[in-house]
Amino acid sequence: MFAALAVSFFTQTACKKEAPVASFVANKTTATVKDTITFTNTSLNAQSYEWDFGDGNQSAAENAQHQYKKPGDYTVKLVAKGEGGTDEAIQILRIDIVLPLAGFFIASNDLLAPANLKFSNTSQDATHYEWDFGDGNTSAEENPEHVFDKIGTYAVTLKAVGEFGEATVTKTVSIGASIVPGVSVEGIAVGSTFLSIKNALGGQPFKHYTSVTSNGVVHLIDYSDLGLIFGFVNSSLLLHDNEATICIFAESPCKGGTEKGIVVGSSMADVKATYGSPVISNSNHTYSYPALGIDFYWGTGNTPVAVYWMFVYKKNGFQQETIYNQLVKMVSENK
């Protein structure tokens, strides 16, 4: 009888299955809606599994992956099933939103008016975009192009809008002027009226200097923030809107260059190499090219080093030397 009881106990013990122990590890317990979370199953004594991710989605895989679409706290449950029964494990995950990040850079190097600029959008986690170019124009394109017709400084703003919010970034774009000997500073020609100059420069502040000579009244309109000075001559201390400019000075911070690449700051050796031997004016600080309608000045010092300012006028346009000299004298005195 003792032997029979022993056999029965051994048989029951051998046939008893071990109960499953459910457990798992998530690679992230705090994540965002853009993250994919990996769940590694560490359960024991189980043959099948049921995952409930707490957002209405399930899986029967042994090891699961899941991405949450909305922020919030989610209870993840794993049910492990085996011959010895079932067991479950739970874990709470925190899912956060992802705010957009706004960013862009200018793909174009030409910043001389009229400047066609290409904007390269580097924003992240955004679905649509709102551009404000600072000149009254806007765009909803991801990577827009825009032409700045007038010289000046513009605040370009990009708003990047995503599912859970928005972000903005603003960068300053400075559009300079291109100098064309005997003709114009891009968009403003020798001969342009005072009104057209004011309109082209979009309300930029200026200073007005006058000097009375035997040949008339010389006027300087100085846009010092742009590095541009316009010369006029009439018979009145008043400068009317219909008066035409007879010359243009360009100095720092004007970024424009001549059609052959000479800019404020270029070496005077480059000027001579580019345009040939100059006709030296009555100032020993000048390389003058009256047949082209442009002079280059190097400021103080007897050695020509670098271009200090450029003087653009009508080709062979100064029959009255006193007017020419007075214009140069006034610019020198007011700088």
| Domain boundaries defined on the chain | 18-96, 104-175, 179-333
- Interval 229-258 mean pLDDT: 90
Counting beta carbons within 10 angstroms of the beta carbon of residue 30, is it exposed (0 to 12), middle (13 to 18) or buried (19 or more)?
exposed
| Mean pLDDT (the chain, rounded) | 88
Structure tokens at 194: 């005072």
Instruction: Give start and end residues of each alpha helix (H) in the chain.
Output: 2-15, 194-200, 268-275, 321-333
Task: Give the total residue count for the chain.
Answer: 335
Structure tokens at 64: 């699961």
Would you tell me which CATH number, out of the four given (3.40.50.150, 3.90.230.10, 3.40.640.10, 2.60.40.10), belongs to the domain 104-175? 2.60.40.10
Beta pairing partners, 82 = 85
Of residues 263 and 143, more confidently modeled:
143
pTM of the model: 0.55
* pLDDT score at 9: 43
Order the strands of the 24-26 sheet from edge to edge: 24-26, 36-41, 64-67
Could you check whether 18-96 and 104-175 share the same CATH topology? yes
Rounded CA-CA distance 284/297 in Å is 9
Tell me the pLDDT band of 40, cut-offs 50, 70 and 90. Answer: very high
- Interval 103-130 mean pLDDT: 89
Lowest-confidence region among 52-56, 107-111, 119-123, 153-157: 107-111
Q: Is the pLDDT of residue 12 over 60?
A: no
Q: Is the pLDDT of residue 216 over 50?
A: yes
Structure tokens at 267: 């070496």
- Interval 80-99 mean pLDDT: 95
Structure tokens at 97: 């939103």
Asked whether 229 and 331 are in contact (CB, 8 A), the reply is yes
Tell the residue number behind the tokens 């271009």, with chain if given: 307
Backbone angles phi, psi at 37, to 5 degrees: -100, 135
Tell me the DSSP string of 37-48: EEEEE--BS-SE
Q: Is the pLDDT of residue 1 over 60?
A: no
Structure tokens at 143: 């990577």
Q: Is the pLDDT of residue 333 over 90?
A: no
- The two counts, helices (H) then strands (E), for the chain are 4, 25
- Interval 218-243 mean pLDDT: 92
* pLDDT score at 15: 55
* pLDDT score at 207: 93
- Interval 322-335 mean pLDDT: 80
Q: Is the pLDDT of residue 7 over 50?
A: no
* pLDDT score at 62: 97
How many C-beta atoms surround the C-beta of residue 59 within 10 A?
16
Q: Is the pLDDT of residue 149 over 90?
A: no
- Interval 112-137 mean pLDDT: 93
User: Dmax of the chain from CA atoms?
Assistant: 145
> Architecture of 18-96 per CATH?
Sandwich (2.60)
- Interval 214-223 mean pLDDT: 89
Tell me the pLDDT band of 327, cut-offs 50, 70 and 90. Answer: confident
